[in-house]
Each structure stands twice: as structure tokens, then as C-alpha cells.
Structure 1
Amino acid sequence: MLIATCTRLWQLVAGLVSVAIITQFFSLQTQDIYYVFADLLALQTLFDLGLTGVLLSLASREWPTATESEPSDATSLAKRRLGSLIRDGTRWFVVMSVLFAIGASTFGLWYLQGPETDTMQWRAPWIASVVLTAAAMIMMPCIGVLEGKYVVPINIFRLTQAIIGNLVVWLVITQGGSLWAVAASAAVRLLCESFFVFGRFRKQLFDLIRQEPLPANDALDWRSAVRPLQWRIGLQAIVAYLATRTYTLIVLDAQSTGAAGRIGLTWAILIAIQASGLAWLQARLPQIGRHVQESDFTEARRLVRQTSYLAVATIILGSIALVVLHLGLTRYYPATADRLLPLPPILLFSVSLAIYAVIIIWSTYTRLFRIDPFVRPGLIGSTVLATAAIVLGVRYGAMGIAVAHLGTMTLVNLPLLIPVIRRELAVVEKP
């Protein structure tokens, strides 16, 4: 938990340093395109289709049996299941990475062209960023399966990657690299994940990959167990992308120069704050999964409730720190404060993201039972949010998007999801 917390704290500190560097070295227009790049690269979630989350949830249930000290048929079967997850997942991501490289690069070249960007050197950095991101996607199933057990090494790896990535980005920006900083960040991710998969955990992964294929009637058969859950989560991920990762795209043309950069920079900091809270879930998910495997639902629920409290408290503290920072910048460095959103939308976003963190935690717990009853309510909530964000964002900018986010979360998502979670857990938690 200490390493995960350090990772999230570093993200917060890095966000503050990025504010200072971007303010000094980027024009408002460059800041706009920089964060549009980030949202366009997030299109990879549309090609993931929720598979990474499925692999993590399923692997967290198999690792305790696969690593038992006394070999048995159950141990062998668990290893074969983990090996199957890696092999089939890698095949999926190889195909999806190619499609992502072609689709994202083409869409970006079309979307960003125009008189506003004709004087900017953005095409080469964009293509390089897409290709490097696509290459890194291939290793996602290996990391997802490993995360089901090796929580501490994964968190150390992510902390190291975050530190190196930020340092490289800052170096590129300060040396005049401008938008090449995005490609540099993608290159760091690719190199770090390659070392992790082909170096640090090469032996463990190859041992699993060499396991015999599963019988056709196995409970973890890809077609019967993985694919249905993946498509349900993936469909939600697509709509969620439209609802949460298109804000810079919404205001890029509809608002004045700098609007996309302001919401992009502020949103990145807020997401880092939320991720700090969700670090508690990442650290405790293997333990929660073990209790579910042992049918100790009382202890599993206790950990989930405790995780929810800690996550919300962390997000509240982070949001307070951001508000204090904003007030200080407004008084002493107004030019820097102007690169961020005003306080009213920041406060609305903070409350909304705290609520959403609790929803994520309980939804993740429910999916440990290999069910996903959230397709319909998730689609409804995300569709409403995407529509409201577009309508209000085009007219009122960031404030309209913030109102849409909080309003949808409290008036749509919570009333839809809470009854579903209660109903499903009442069924699956029966001894």
C-alpha cells in the first residue's frame, strides 16, 4: 500500500510541476493540442474493450490456488487457466493494437487539421505517439495477469515508470521539444513495460504460457467465461470514453483558445487525485479476491467498505489541496492560475469523482463473482453524461461539463446502480 500511495502522491506532485512547466514553455494553443493528444490516445480503451479489467479480476481468483506450496490437480488447473488468459489475451491485443494504430492515427490527422494548427509541427509527433502506444498495448494482458498477484512489484514498477516518464516529458518540453513530449512519454511506457515483461517476470510468464491448453468445458473457457464479461465491460468502456475523455474535444472548437488546455490540465490533476483514492482498491483487490474464493463474504465486504471510506477521504484531502493551490496561484501567479479551470467547476468535478470512486469499488467487488450486471445502468448513465456534456459543454464550456458530470452521477448513476449491486450481492454471497 505504501508504494501505491507513493505512486499517486508522485502523480499529484508531477501534476503541479507540469502546471509550472507548461505555463512557461507552452502557448495556449500548444497546451490545447497537447491535451487533445492525450484524449485521442485514450481511444485505446475502445480497442481494449474492458479485457484488461477482466484479466485482473479473473487472475486474482486463480493466483492463490496456482501458488499453493503443495502441488495438486487444482494447482495445475489454476496455472493452466492463467496461461490461457495470457495467451488468448495477447492474441486479442496484437490484433487490436494494429487496428488502434491505423484508426487512431487516421482520425487524429483528420480531426486536428485546420487553419489553427497549420503553423504547428504536430503530425510527426502524433504518428509517433500512436505507434508507440500501440506497441505497448501488446503487453497489457501480461501485466494484467501479473497484477492479480504481484501487487508490490507492480506498484514499484508503476512508480518507477511514472517518475521516469515525467522527468523525460519535462526534459523534452524544457528543451523545446513541444508536442514530442507526448511521444517521449509513450516511448518510456513501452521501454519500461518491455523490461517488466521480458526481464523482471519473464520466467514466471513463460512458465504460465507453456502450460497445456484448458479443456473445452473448463469454467474459465474464453468463449463462455471471458468473452461475455469482456464485451459487457467493453461496451460500457466505449460509452464511458465518450462521457469522460472527450471534454477537450468538445471545447476545442466551441470555446476560445486555451479552453481545451485548461480543462485538460485540470482534469488530469483531478483524475490523479481520484487515482490516489483508488490505490486502496488496487492494493487490496487480491486480498478481497481471496476472501471471495474462500466464501468469507463478511470479511470481503468489510474490506470493501473500508476501502470506500479511505478512497473518499483521500479524494477529499487531495481536492482541498488543489483548491488551496489554486487560491495561492490566483493571488501570486495569476498567469499560471489562468491555465487551470476556475474553482466552481473544480469543486463540482471533485465531488462527482468521489462518488464515482465508490461506484467503481463496489462494481469491481461484484465482478469478482464473474458477473457483470451493470451493462444497462452503465450504458444509460454514460449515455446521459455524454449527451449532457456535449450539450452543456458547447454552450457553457467547462462549467457546463462539470454540472453535467455531477448531475448525472447523483441523479442517474447512483439511483440506477445501487439497487443492482444490492440485488446481485444478495444472491451471489449466499453460502
Structure 2
Amino acid sequence: MRIIVGNVLKKVGIDRAVSYVLFARGWSVFAGLITLYFISHHLTKVEQGFYYTFASVLAMQVFFELGFSSVISQFASHEMAKLAWKDGVITGDEQAKSRLFSLFKLAIKWYGVIAILMLAIVTPAGYWFFNSSYPDSPVNWSWPWIVLVLCTCGNLFISPVIALLEGTGLVADVAKMRLFQSVFSSTAAWLALYFGAGLFAAAIIALVTLCSNFIWISLSKKMFLYSVYISQKSENIISWKNEIFPMQWRIAISWLSGFFIFQLFTPLTFKYHGPEAAGQLGMSFSIANVLSSLAMAWITTKTPWFGQLIASKNFNELDLLFKKVFWQSWGVLFVFVILFTIALLTINYFNLPFAYRLLKPQEFLLILCAVLANHIVFAQATYVRAHKCEPYLKHAIVLAVSIGVSSCLLIKYFDVFYMLFSYFMISVFIGVLYSNYIYTHFKKRRR
């Protein structure tokens, strides 16, 4: 029986790394449902709007990070083609190890600066946005906002360590840590909501995440950190100017564009239609994003191996692996969308109270259809970027302008449905078609 189960799991692409990611994201689905329950019972509709708009405004961290974490992971995976983990430290080719350590030190300096900048800029910017959009709010949101930004900046500072460890092949270890992290942070949020902490629940999630990141890195990776700390300066370093920047600036613009593609909807709705409508939109998008992230586990857990196969110029095996995990992931996402659509129609048919915390079914279905389209783009972009290049720059800009402009105009003069319909149409007829063009032409040029 065990052998049969093992063969079935292998056939659908569930290895150790994927299993941990699925457990973590499966927990996120379960925890998300429980969190939705607590939010709907312990936060008012206005507070719900603030809760989800907090997250969208904090997505402004991409304006500071500029895609560096993605670059870190990809460069680390390429260096690991000549390296290996042994007894908690990295061993192998000295030149590759020196380059990897130099990347780590560069990342720490970079993220230390941007964490301070984000704290100094985003805190007052968010305060101005919420105060000007809803000046007579009965909700106490200012201190929760300040604490949330502070903890988020702390997580931002630690994030390059996590990205580098994933890039060196410790995908399963990081996923396992994130599973426990999600359990602790979700439990803390439920307790906070139950005991009336209100919007401080969002800050508590960020605080528990920060503490768990720090404890895990300090306890389990201290030998690696020490080896990086005592490493001597060498001529074999990764040059930010000559190697990283030519790729990073393209990814940075893509990430900045992503804010306008994925995060602009909730703040716009908050501004023009109030926190209650923003809360419905934010909760709906959070559910859709969970489904998307679950399916992307098949892709993201293979990214380090993509980099190693590319570094070894084993392109045939790379393409076979990508094709396999892409169809596995998209098929899983399609099943998720069908199952959730049935659940959505059911709660609306029986007129359950929770239905009023979400968008109407026709509006939610537009988001789900857009998620199916975006998954194709995410997968193809991950494949191409694993080659340490970024041809998706124009793609991101076109989508950002199209979605950003249409959303601003439609939400101002019409309701949420028209904004989401435009988002869906652009995602399919510009996002997918343009991405497929980039992907196919990239593979032809590579040959």
C-alpha cells in the first residue's frame, strides 16, 4: 500500500519539497478559512476593509526591494552547481563558494538600508492615505498600522537569508519552517481577534513571523552564518554592477509593475467606495491568492533545479521537467477553482452570513478566471528568469499601464464588477498571449 501511494505521489509530482510546501499552503487554506471566520465575527465590515487594505499598501515594499530577493535565489542556484551542503555548511569549489558568500554579504547590506528607508517612508505615507481616504473613521487604526510596518520592515531585513537558503537547494527546509511559522502566526492572530485586539491582529502575525524567522535562522543555520562571517575577502566575488544590476533593474520594474497589476484594486476601492467594499474585495483576493500559491508550489520548489540544469546546459532535461510540473500545477489549480466555485455558489444559494463578507459570485468568478490565466504567466516567467535574464520587462509595463489606468477610471465612475471584468480581459488577451510569445521566442533564441 505504501509503495502504491508513493508511486501515485511521484506521478503527480509530489516530492519532499513539494509536500512541505503543500502542507504549509494547505495549512494556509485551513487557517485562512478559520481566520476569515474570526475576521467576520470579531471585526466590523469597516475594520475588515482596513485589515485588507493594510496588506495592499504594505505591498509598496517592492518599491524598495526592487526584485533583489528573486535575483539572490537565482544567482545562488547557479553557484550551487559546483557546491553542496555538508554538516550544516557549504563545501565544494572555492571560487563558487567565495562568490556565494559575497552575494550573501551584499544582500545583507542592501536589505539593511531598504528596511530603514521603508520604515521612514511607508509609515507616514500609509498614515496620510488612510486618514485622507476615511477621515472620520470610528476605527482605531493608527497604532496597529505603525506596529505592522515596523514588524514588516524587520521581516524584510531577514528575507534575503531565506531567499539565499532556498536558492542553495534548501527548499524543503525553508518550506518546513514556513509551515510551523504559519501555524504559530495564525494561532496568535486567532487569539488576538478572539480577545478583541482588532486590527492589532495583523501586526501580531507580522511579529510572530519575524520572531520565528530569527529563531530558525539563529538555531539551525548558525554554522553557515558563522562560515560566511569569518570568510576572507577574495577577488572571486559577484559584482552587483556587472552581473546583478543588468538583470535586477528589469526584474525591479516587473515587480514595481506587479503592484499596479495585483495590489492596486483594494486601495482604490477603499478610496472610492469605502472600507466595506474594500474588505469584500480584499478577502476575495486573499482566497484567490491562496489557491494560486498552492498550485505554484509545483513550480517554485523546482526553481533551484532549473538553475542548476541551466548552469550545466542540460536544456532537454530542463524542458521536460518544466513541462511536467507546469501541467501538474495548472491542473491542480483548475480543480481548486472548480471546487471553490461550487462552495461559493452554495453559500450564496443558502444566503449564509459569510457570503456578505465576499464579493458577489459573478465578481469573484472574474478573479478566479484571471488567476487561471495568470498562473500560465507566472510559470513561464519563472522558467525564463531561471536563465538569469528578464525579457518580461515590456510585458510587465504593458500590463501595469493597462490594468492600472483601466482600474483607476472604472472604479471611480462605476462599480467593482467593471474593474474586475477589465482585469480579467487584460490578463487573458494581453497577459497570456504576450507571455506565450516571449516564452516561445526565448526558447528558439536559446537554441
Match of 1:77 in 2: 95
- 2:56 matched to 1:56? no
Partner letter of residue 200 of structure 1? S
Match of 2:19 in 1: 2
Residue 116 of structure 1: CA displacement? 5.0
In structure 2, how many angstroms separate the alpha carbons of the residues matched to 1:199 and 1:404?
A: 48
The structure 1 residue matched to 2:252, chosen from 234, 254, 260, is 234
Match of 1:409 in 2: 427
- DSSP-derived class of the 1:258 partner: helix
In structure 1, how many angstroms separate the alpha carbons of the residues matched to 2:234 and 2:422?
A: 46
- 2:44 matched to 1:27? yes
Match of 1:270 in 2: 288
- 2:157 matched to 1:138? yes
Partner letter of residue 204 of structure 1? F
Contact 1:244–1:386 (Cα < 8 Å) also in 2: no
Q: Deviations over 1:13-61 (max 9, x none)?
A: 1222122111111111011111111111221122111001111111112
Structure 2 residue runs of 5 or longer lacking an equivalent are 1-17
The structure 1 residue matched to 2:166, chosen from 102, 127, 147, is 147
Match of 2:184 in 1: 164
- 2:146 matched to 1:127? yes
In structure 1, how many angstroms separate the alpha carbons of the residues matched to 2:277 and 2:383?
A: 37
Distance 1:210 1:223, change over 3 A: farther
Residue 398 of structure 1: CA displacement? 2.8
Contact 2:366–2:424 (Cα < 8 Å) also in 1: yes
Residue 74 of structure 1: CA displacement? 6.8
Residue 214 of structure 1: CA displacement? 4.7
Partner letter of residue 284 of structure 1? K
In structure 2, how many angstroms separate the alpha carbons of the residues matched to 1:419 and 1:213?
A: 44
- 2:262 matched to 1:244? yes
Partner letter of residue 278 of structure 2? A
Residue 331 of structure 1: CA displacement? 3.6
The structure 2 residue matched to 1:100, chosen from 107, 118, 123, is 118
In structure 2, how many angstroms separate the alpha carbons of the residues matched to 1:215 and 1:257?
A: 55
Contact 1:84–1:209 (Cα < 8 Å) also in 2: no
In structure 1, how many angstroms separate the alpha carbons of the residues matched to 2:147 and 2:107?
A: 25
Q: CA RMSD in A?
A: 2.0
Q: Deviations over 1:232-255 (max 9, x none)?
A: 111111121022112111111322
**Identity over aligned residues, as a percent?**
21
In structure 2, how many angstroms separate the alpha carbons of the residues matched to 1:107 and 1:370?
A: 34
- DSSP-derived class of the 1:263 partner: helix
Distance 1:314 1:394, change over 3 A: farther
In structure 1, how many angstroms separate the alpha carbons of the residues matched to 2:350 and 2:135?
A: 32
- 2:129 matched to 1:111? yes
Query: How many residues are treated as equivalent by the alignment?
Result: 426
Q: Deviations over 1:257-304 (max 9, x none)?
A: 511000100100100100001111122222222222221111111111
In structure 2, how many angstroms separate the alpha carbons of the residues matched to 1:313 and 1:119?
A: 45
The structure 2 residue matched to 1:386, chosen from 394, 397, 404, is 404
In structure 1, how many angstroms separate the alpha carbons of the residues matched to 2:253 and 2:226?
A: 31
In structure 2, how many angstroms separate the alpha carbons of the residues matched to 1:50 and 1:392?
A: 30
Contact 2:68–2:248 (Cα < 8 Å) also in 1: yes
Partner letter of residue 131 of structure 1? L
- DSSP-derived class of the 1:372 partner: coil
Distance 1:341 1:73, change over 3 A: closer
Residue 3 of structure 1: CA displacement? 0.9
Match of 2:212 in 1: 192
- 2:347 matched to 1:329? yes
Distance 1:319 1:415, change over 3 A: closer
The structure 2 residue matched to 1:369, chosen from 380, 383, 387, is 387
Distance 1:75 1:259, change over 3 A: same
Residue 73 of structure 1: CA displacement? 11
Aligned 1:174-193 pairs, distance under 5 A: 174-193=194-213
Structure 1 residue runs of 5 or longer lacking an equivalent are none
Q: For structure 1, which segment, 303-312 or 149-158, has the greater mean C-alpha deviation from structure 2 after superposition?
A: 303-312
Q: For structure 1, which segment, 92-101 or 16-25, has the greater mean C-alpha deviation from structure 2 after superposition?
A: 16-25
- DSSP-derived class of the 1:369 partner: coil
Contact 2:330–2:372 (Cα < 8 Å) also in 1: yes
Match of 1:173 in 2: 193
Distance 1:418 1:120, change over 3 A: same
Distance 1:164 1:179, change over 3 A: same
